[in-house]
Chains A and B, each alone.
Chain A
Amino acid sequence: MLLFSILLFSGFSYNGVGYIPMLMDRSELEVSVQLVGSALPIRNPGRIYIFQNWLLLVEQYKGIHLIDNTDPANPVRRDFLRVPGCQSMAVRNGVLYVDNAVDLVGVKIDINTLQALEIARNRKALPEINSPDGYIPWGFSRANRPANTEIVGWTNKTAEL
């Protein structure tokens, strides 16, 4: 969280419950896709993708666990690719395509030596991440939040309080 320097702010709610967005400056978003260099615990797992002997597991809004699954009875979390706003992924020719919030990013990945390098980015190719309620509250629309910020996830307001 600190590394992402995510801005959390409240000030809008309906009926006292709901979600507030995690925001990131665009300049930070565009350099945010990085290997952490160590494995992280699985907290909010999402979609799964099998690539060769590896399992890729989305950590909702945070990135992708790189799991060595050579022995399915003993899978090993090897590293974590940080991708703020991540929900989906697919691989082609050694390039991992992933959603970095509204941007679609290509990451050249050598999974066996655990190297990753962003090589392509299509900005604002994807819609903004809706809150788990299925929409973006008016108070957090582009016009009503700090300029040049992107929504990289949502957090339950009641849980924060």
Chain B
Amino acid sequence: MKKILMLLALTGLIFSCETLGGDSSNDSSTGTGGSMARFTCIGDYLYTVDESYLQTFDISDSTKIIRTSRIQANWNNRIETIFPVDSLLFLGSTSGMYIYNLKDPATPKFVYLYTHVVSCDPVVVQGKYAYVTLRTEHDNWSCNRGLDQLEVLDLSRINAPRNVGTYPMVNPRGLGIDGAHLFICDGMDLLVMDATDPLDLKELKRIELDGTPYDVIAKNGILTLSYSSGLKQYAYSNDTIQEISTIY
């Protein structure tokens, strides 16, 4: 419920800057992906990102998967992740965060590219803020020149996001946010931050894992985390977080 309110709040913000059509984000027939997701379903469409393309497929007839658009990023970009918020898509790429709108859901339209140093970066959005992790991959030629950090971007003006915070990280991957809890897969740790004030994030806890964390989903007080050894879940509320299960 809280999440829906957040989405509504963001919708309001976006409407103040841009008039967007379509309302499909609360479709209960779909599920929830993590911040590392490359596929997302909205309404009658499946959106995928891959090495260099954002593709759209019409899936209104479940027996067909029909491509309706294929958009190539710049030659030196590798699109890593897709995060849908209402009628916007946020794409994490090796050279920045793309924002596309879905006024025409069959053909996403470019809104903005927030550029920064070359890194691999997933993005999540809550309220009027985007949280982006930038990661160095030493064994991957396309993103080995970057920084390891978390950036917070103010999306009040969707056509001109603004950096309002930068936090050094070890080697961050997936991240998730639910209300005041921000979770980041960082190196061999699960990092929990207090995001009550998005302009002043505070480290709450750093939980050492017996493997490297990869993707997280924070939803309804349960954090689900995939890491190199298996799958863990944590229950969180206010300032407590407790591991409740691990499967291998």
Binding site for B on A (CB under 8 A): 41-42, 44-52, 55-57, 67, 69, 72-75, 77, 87-95, 97-99, 104-106, 108, 119-122, 125-127, 130, 132-135
1/0 contact string of B125-156 vs chain A (CB within 8 Å): 00000000000000111110000000000000
Residues of B close to A69: CB separation below 8 A: 224, 233
Residues of B close to A50: CB separation below 8 A: 31-32, 217, 219, 224
- Contact A42 B247, beta carbon cutoff 8 Å: yes
- Contact B29 A75, beta carbon cutoff 8 Å: no
Partner of B59, one of A46, A55, A92, A126: A92
Cβ of B106 within 8 Å of any chain A Cβ, yes or no, is no
Given contacts A93-B29, A134-B141, contact A75 B233 (CB under 8 A): yes
- Contact B224 A48, beta carbon cutoff 8 Å: yes
CA distance A67 to B26 in the complex (A): 24
Cβ of B85 within 8 Å of any chain A Cβ, yes or no, is no
CA distance A77 to B52 in the complex (A): 34
CA distance A55 to B140 in the complex (A): 30
1/0 contact string of B18-36 vs chain A (CB within 8 Å): 0000000001011111101
- Contact B244 A72, beta carbon cutoff 8 Å: yes
Residues of A close to B143: CB separation below 8 A: 134
Q: How many A-B residue pairs have CB under 8 A?
A: 156
Residues of A close to B228: CB separation below 8 A: 44-45
Instruction: Select the stretch in B9-17, B61-69, B162-170 that faces chain A.
Output: B61-69
Give 8 A-B contacts (CB < 8 Å), ordered by A residue: A47-B37, A72-B233, A90-B31, A90-B39, A90-B41, A125-B67, A134-B142, A134-B143
Interface magnitude class on chain B: 35 or more
- Contact B141 A135, beta carbon cutoff 8 Å: yes
Given contacts A50-B224, A120-B63, A133-B141, contact A88 B48 (CB under 8 A): yes
CA distance A72 to B142 in the complex (A): 37
CA distance A96 to B82 in the complex (A): 17
1/0 contact string of B215-243 vs chain A (CB within 8 Å): 11101001011111111010100000000
Partner of A89, one of B27, B39, B50, B231: B39
Q: How close is B51's CB to chain A, nearest CB, in angstroms?
A: 5
Residues of A close to B30: CB separation below 8 A: 90-92
- Contact A125 B57, beta carbon cutoff 8 Å: yes
Residues of A close to B247: CB separation below 8 A: 42, 67, 75, 77
- Contact A75 B245, beta carbon cutoff 8 Å: yes
Return the 5 tightest CB-CB contacts between A and B, nearest first: A51-B31, A92-B41, A90-B39, A122-B65, A88-B38
Partner of A119, one of B37, B62, B67, B216: B62
CA distance A93 to B48 in the complex (A): 17
Cβ of B75 within 8 Å of any chain A Cβ, yes or no, is no
- Contact A45 B51, beta carbon cutoff 8 Å: no
CA distance A65 to B89 in the complex (A): 27
CA distance A41 to B230 in the complex (A): 9
CA distance A50 to B139 in the complex (A): 31
- Contact B48 A55, beta carbon cutoff 8 Å: no
- Contact A46 B222, beta carbon cutoff 8 Å: no
Residues of A close to B36: CB separation below 8 A: 46-47
